């Protein structure tokens, strides 16, 4: 059965990737009470890291935004895999974004807006979230973006 979220993704021209596997000895997602905590998500597609390096040197702002969008799709894929769909998802509560950034690059919020905007277009009111943006000199596996998502679930 196709969910409203899957239909909305298709309308927007997106397909959720397979949920990426953890890169280490941890779980991709853990539920505690009514909260679902996702481990850091990277811009991985088809098992490969698609955006490497720092925004402002190796990557442009637009490439950073594309990385954030892909990473948000991975977060949705993790939610779908953990919950078995989107029916139990009440809302995205918090989005924490880490952007591998060149010295002097201060547009991390613009990069992360791509993730926030995608979630909003796909989830509507369920996407409203608090957000923090961080600059990092480097991220795991030389990823451009790492997103940490907390969601409220039933």
Q: What string of DSSP letters covers 7-73?
A: HHHHHTT--PPPPPPPSSSS-SEEEETTEEEEPPB--EETTEE--BS-BTTTB-HHHHHHHHHHHHH
Cβ within 8 Å of residue 106, ≥6 positions away: 135
Q: Is residue 69 within 8 Å of 113, Cβ to Cβ? A: no
Q: Using CA atoms, how far apart are residues 32 and 50, in angstroms rounded to an integer?
A: 31
CATH code (residue 86): 3.30.1330.40
Backbone angles phi, psi at 126, to 5 degrees: -70, -5
Can you read off the two tokens belonging to residue 135? 């600059």
Q: Give residue 142's domain range.
A: 4-153
Q: What is the pLDDT of residues 68-124, one digit of tens each?
A: 999 999 999 999 999 999 999 999 999 999 999 999 999 999 999 999 999 999 999
- pTM for the structure as a whole: 0.96
Nearest to 121 by CA among 40, 8, 23, 4: 8
User: What local confidence, expressed as pLDDT, does residue 2 receive?
Assistant: 59
What is residue 4's predicted lDDT score, i.e. its pLDDT? Answer: 87
Count Cβ atoms within 10 A of the Cβ of residue 68 and give its class: 0-12 exposed, 13-18 middle, 19 or more buried. buried
From CA 51, how far away is CA 135, in angstroms rounded? 16
For the segment 122-145, what is each residue's pLDDT rounded down to a tens digit? 999 999 999 999 999 999 999 999
What's the confidence (pLDDT) of residue 128? 92
What's the domain count of the chain? 1
């Amino acid at each position: 059965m196709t969910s409203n979220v899957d239909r909305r993704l298709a309308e927007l021209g997106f397909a959720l990737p397979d949920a990426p596997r953890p890169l280490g000895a941890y779980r991709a997602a853990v539920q505690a009470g009514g909260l679902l905590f996702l481990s850091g998500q990277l811009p991985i597609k088809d098992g490969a890291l698609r955006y490497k390096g720092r925004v402002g040197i190796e990557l442009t702002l637009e490439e950073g935004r594309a990385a954030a969008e892909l990473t948000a799709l991975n977060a949705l894929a993790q939610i779908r895999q953990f919950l078995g769909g989107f029916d139990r998802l009440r809302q995205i509560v918090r989005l924490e974004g880490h952007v591998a950034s060149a010295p002097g690059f201060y547009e991390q919020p613009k990069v992360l807006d791509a993730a926030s905007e995608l979630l909003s277009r796909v989830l509507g009111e369920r996407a409203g979230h608090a957000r923090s943006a961080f600059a990092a000199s480097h991220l795991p596996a030389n990823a451009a973006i790492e997103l940490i998502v907390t969601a409220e679930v039933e």
